[in-house]
Amino acid sequence: MTAELLLPLLAAAVQTGTPILYATLGEILTERAGVLNLGVEGIMMVGALAAYVTALATGHAGLGFAAGAGCGALLAAVHAQVCVGFRGNQVVSGLALTILGTGLANYLGTPYIGQSIPGFQRTALPLLDQIPILGPVFFRQDPLVYLSYLAPVFVWVALKRTTWGLNLRAAGEAPEAVTAAGLSFARLRWSAVVLGGLLMGCGGAYLSLAYTHLWSTGLVAGRGWIAVALVIFAFWHPGRAVLGAYLFGGVMAFQFRLQALGTHLPSSLLLMLPYLLTIFVLVAASVRRRGQAPPAALGVNHEPPD
């Protein structure tokens, strides 16, 4: 593939990877506190619809983004209540949320199919976009992509450098220590799930506000599930999540460019690539685990000794 195709491909990888990045960061936050949230797909759909509808109604894409994030947090709160409040099975609750979120979004979103909004447009950052290679790839994107460059930093700082983050990680590794220290275990997990949902909602909002300026029933198309897998690939670290997300974006963008170049490979097989890659990275991550274990209390509802 020629050099002049490589840069657009990398730029496309960044765009395609951005919603996955937001969602992965949200899931990392949630899982670090010990809660497995499999409802990412449903939350992203609701976030995408909320963002779209708000942007359509108010004319402000920024408000739409906020609405998408907010609704994502709201839906995640349901998961928090069921898992943390009612100590329900986390796997099933997440799946229920996916079914519910997808159903809600498709049901409420049906009247909005086929309309377009201005949304976020691409704006090149002055000076930065002149940097060779990095410029065209990273600095000629839309504002939500630029925001996604900051998100991993925030998540990392929150987890590693704040008290809240420390307590949150304790809730995920050693719940007994948390209650012994007199902290509210439930509140910690709640905050992680809701904040995680906020980020997932951002990912969904990106799809309907910037990636396309449309809403459709198949908008998320499995990206939520890829995010869950990427969390494992990233070993629950925000930094590696960036790598994983862009890698995926690259594969998804790549298979279309292969077709455009006139390959004779059947397109069905090419379309399998992202999903096969997910299995592959999962296996690779599991093989290389040695010392990089998931949070010890992940998926386990803690029984406080009340």
Partner 1 sequence: MNPISVHKRTDPLTWPAALILGLAIVLSLSVSALLLHWQDKPARDALVILFQGAFGSWHALEDCTIKAVPIFLCSLGVAVAFRLQVWNIGAEGQFAMGAIGATWVVLQFPQWPAFLLLPAMMAAAALGGGFCGLIPALLKVRLRANEIIVSLMLNYVCILFLEYLVYGPWKDPVSFGFPMTMVFPPAAIVGAIGSSRLNWGLVLALACAVGFWIFFRFSRLGYELKVCGESPRVAGYARLPYHGLVIAVMVTGGALAGWAGFLEVSATLNRLQPSIMVGYGYTAIVVAWLARLSPASIAAASLLLAGLRVGVENLQLEMQVPAAFGGIMEGVLLLTVLAGGFFVRYRVRWRGFS
Partner 2 sequence: MRKGCLLLGMIFLVWMVGAGGAGAADEALKVGFIYVSPVGDAGWSYAHEQARLAVEALEGVRTAFVEDVREGPDSERVMRNMARKGYDLIFATSYGYMDSMLKVAGEFPDTVFMHCSGYKLAPNMGNYFGRIYQARYLSGMAAGAMTRGGQIGYVAAFPIPEVIRGINAFTIGVRAVNPKATVRVVWTKTWYDPATEKEAAKSLLDVGCDVIAQHQDSPGPQEAAQERGAYSVGYNTDMSAFAPRAHLTAAVWNWAPFYLEVVESVRNGTWKSTAAWPGMEKGIVGLAPFGPMVPESVKTRIEQEKARLINGETRVFAGPIKDQQGNLKIAAGETASDEALLGMTWLVEGVVGTTE
Q: Is 184 in the site for partner 2 (CB under 8 A)?
A: no
Nearest to 148 by CA among 58, 215, 55, 242: 242
Distances, alpha carbon 29 to alpha carbons 213, 279, 301, in Å? 28, 22, 17
Q: Which residues contact 41 (CB under 8 A, 6 or more apart)?
A: 98, 101, 102, 220, 222, 223, 224, 225
Alpha-carbon distance 226 to 273, whole Å?
12
In the chain, the N- to C-terminal Cα span, in Å, equals 64
> Out of 228, 234, 247, 252, which residue is the one contacting partner 1 (CB under 8 A)?
228
Among 126, 132, 182, 218, binds partner 2 (CB under 8 A): 218
Q: Is 111 in the site for partner 2 (CB under 8 A)?
A: yes
Residues touching partner 1: how many (CB under 8 A)? 51
x/- site string to partner 1, residues 63 to 102, per CB under 8 A? ---------------x--xx--xxxxx-xxx-xxxxxxxx
The Cα-based distances of 228 to 83, 107, 134, 274 in angstroms read 18, 25, 28, 14
Q: Candidates 225, 257, 259, 300: give the one binding partner 1 (CB under 8 A).
A: 225
Under rule CB under 8 A, residue 57 binds partner 1: no
Per-residue contact track with partner 2, 57 to 96, x per CB under 8 A?
A: ----------------------------------------
Alpha helices in 82-133 (DSSP H): 90-109
Query: Of 44 and 69, which CB lies nearer to partner 2 in the complex structure?
Result: 44
Q: What residues between 223 and 252 interact with partner 2 by CB under 8 A?
A: 252
Pick 53 or 145: Cβ nearer partner 1: 53
Neighbour-count burial for 149-168, b at 16+ CB within 10 Å, e otherwise? eebbeebbebbeeeeebebb
216 binds partner 2 (CB under 8 A): yes
Rounded Cα distance between 48 and 200, Å, is 10
Q: Please report how close the Cβ of residue 181 comes to partner 2 at its closest, in angstroms.
A: 42
Give CA angle at 75 (209, 181), nearest 5°. 120
Rounded to an integer, what distance in angstroms lies between the CA atom of residue 279 and that of residue 95?
19
Cβ at position 64, least distance to partner 2 in Å: 16
For the bound state, the minimum distance from the C-beta of residue 165 to partner 1, rounded and expressed in Å, comes to 24
Which positions lie near partner 2, rule CB under 8 A? 5, 8-9, 12, 16, 110-116, 121-122, 207, 211-214, 216-219, 221, 252-253, 256-257, 259-268, 271
